[in-house]
Amino acid sequence: MTGSSRGHDGRRIAFLGTGLMGAPMARRLLGAGFAVTVWNRDPGKVKALAADGAVLAETPADAVSGADVVITMLTNAEAVKDVLFDRGAAGAMAAGAIVIDMSSIAPHFARDHSARLAERGIAHVDAPVSGGVVGAEAGTLAIMAGGDEAVIEGLRDVFVPMGRVTRVGPSGSGQLAKLANQQIVAVTIGAVAEAMMLITAGGGSPAAFRDAIRGGFAESRILELHGKRMVERQFTPGGSSSNQLKDLNAAMETAASLSLTLPLTAAVHAEFSEFVASGNGEKDHSGLLLHLEEKNGRPGGKP
């Protein structure tokens, strides 16, 4: 089917990319009463959303036809460019439509896409998210937005079912904030993993250690969620190491363009590069623990 019926506020939404994160986000919008048309490169990943009331589209251009708001949640900048410009989605949008790109891509790509869409009379907001699948399902994502202040404010009812939106600055600023977020996530995962190794090597219990420091100055969502994964040695993603590396690559490139030296980010970037190169890209990013154990000759976490 092409296009969608009008939602609870009269606006029609197209959602492009219904993978691990996109599907629960689209489901939140449907649950809030929006009419949503969905498309995914793998058609099998959209079928389940039909039961929630989504209209299924065969192509990106079909999905966005007549849409007022187009949300993209895709793997990388190349995928966003392909869907918007190579597969004809931008050409099928009406002037006055708004694109919200919730993918995680480098800031300069976001600014380029914004400029290309502006030539067609289409507004663009870069609005990547943090909070993982758990946050997507619960509607508690942290949404970092870059773009025109009035446009972002006018989209608040669209963002509310998915999480909490904060405008960080002009075009590209949302992506910059996501890179900074991913720096913190990666460095903290590395710190927690090294601490777990130190405790284990000295004969302590990683589980008891994690319990002991909860609520202290080292408390964080990383310690809570990823520390638990490390204790239980459950590394099915969540957030994949390949995606973590993609974001760290972009962070390092952006830092270089700004003449910044980021030694902690550089160190964890090197470790994730080795981990992914060793065939572990589809392990959860908390699985960096496995790589650090291997480097120390302690595979499996043995004391």
Give DSSP secondary structure letters for the chain.
Answer: --S----TTS-EEEEE--STTHHHHHHHHHHTT-EEEEE-SSGGGTHHHHTTTPEE-SSHHHHHTT-SEEEE--SSHHHHHIIIIISSHHHHSPTT-EEEE-S---HHHHHHHHHHHHTTT-EEEE--EESHHHHHHHT-EEEEEES-HHHHHHTHHHHTTTEEEEEEESTTHHHHHHHHHHHHHHHHHHHHHHHHHHHHHTT--HHHHHHHHTTSTT--HIIIIIHHHHHHT----SSBHHHHHHHHHHHHHHHHHTT---HHHHHHHHHHHHHIIIIITTSBGGGHHHHHHHHTT-GGG--
Q: What is the pLDDT, as a whole number, of residue 302?
A: 77
Residues annotated as catalytic (active site), given as ranges: 178
Q: What is the pLDDT, as a whole number, of residue 5?
A: 43
Q: What is the pLDDT, as a whole number, of residue 14?
A: 98
Please give the average per-residue pLDDT across 149-174, as a whole number: 97
Percentage, residues of the chain above pLDDT 90: 87
Q: Which CATH architecture has domain 177-301?
A: Orthogonal Bundle (1.10)
User: For residue 136, which of 43, 234, 23, 229 has the smallest C-alpha distance?
Assistant: 23
Question: pLDDT class for 1, splitting at 50, 70, 90?
Answer: very low
Q: What is the pLDDT, as a whole number, of residue 210?
A: 98
Query: Is residue 77 predicted with pLDDT exceeding 60?
Result: yes
Q: Which residues pair with 227 in a beta bridge?
A: none
Flag the least confident range among 6-10, 69-73, 114-118, 218-222: 6-10
Query: Is residue 99 predicted with pLDDT exceeding 70?
Result: yes
The reported pTM is 0.86
Question: pLDDT class for 10, splitting at 50, 70, 90?
Answer: confident
pLDDT digits (tens, 9 = 90+) for 246-287: 989 999 999 999 999 999 999 999 999 999 999 999 999 999
Q: For domain 12-169, give the fold.
A: Rossmann fold (3.40.50)
Domain boundaries, the chain: 12-169, 177-301
Exposure letters 150-175 (e unless 16+ CB within 10 A, then b): eebeebeebbebbbebebbeebbbbb
| Average pLDDT in the chain | 94
Q: What is the pLDDT, as a whole number, of residue 50?
A: 94
Question: 300 and 293 in contact (C-beta within 8 Å)?
Answer: yes
Q: What is the pLDDT, as a whole number, of residue 58?
A: 95
Q: What is the pLDDT, as a whole number, of residue 8?
A: 57
Question: 110 and 84 in contact (C-beta within 8 Å)?
Answer: no
